């Protein structure tokens, strides 16, 4: 008899969408070119998160990408920071984000993984307001 473990899942079997509060999935950036285009556009730093945002010029849904460098910490700290960023994006982007925009949320060293969750959400709301007003 074959024993099945959680490691038997193939990466393509794991859902790739981050679901918004309304139940609609947020589109996730996956291509390096999209991350680089966002890096050349508008940006706003806050205590808990750094935001890069760019208007794509179409009417498609907002897309979001997440990244944490090794400065954030070891793999455990980086993954925790990215999980928190995904959850904040899921809660805030459906109401505060704009259609036709790409957003990249970048974790900050030793802060994103430990900052109070409500403060992290307020940081993202502030950053979104600033990039949309530029």
Cα(53)–Cα(92) distance, integer angstroms: 15
Record the pTM.
0.81
The torsion angle over the Cα atoms of residues 108, 114, 117 and 118, rounded to 10 degrees, is -80
User: What's the chain's average pLDDT?
Assistant: 85
pLDDT of amino acid 16: 47
pLDDT digits (tens, 9 = 90+) for 69-127: 999 999 999 999 999 999 999 999 999 999 999 999 999 998 999 999 999 999 999 99
Q: Which residue has the higher pLDDT, 6 or 50?
A: 50
At 134, is the pLDDT very low, low, confident or very high (cuts 50, 70, 90)?
confident
């Amino acid at each position: 008899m074959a024993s099945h473990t959680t490691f038997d899942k193939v990466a393509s079997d794991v859902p790739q969408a981050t679901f918004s509060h309304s139940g609609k999935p947020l589109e996730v950036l996956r291509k390096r070119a999209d991350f680089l285009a966002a890096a050349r556009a508008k940006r706003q730093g806050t205590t808990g998160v750094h935001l890069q945002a760019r208007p794509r010029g179409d009417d498609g849904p907002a897309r979001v990408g997440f990244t944490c460098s090794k400065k954030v910490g070891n793999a455990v700290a980086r993954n925790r920071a990215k999980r928190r960023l995904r959850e904040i994006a899921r809660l805030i982007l459906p109401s505060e984000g704009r259609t036709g925009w790409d957003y990249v949320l970048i974790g900050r060293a030793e802060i994103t993984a430990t900052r109070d969750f409500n403060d992290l959400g307020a940081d993202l709301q502030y950053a979104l307001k600033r990039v949309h007003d530029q």
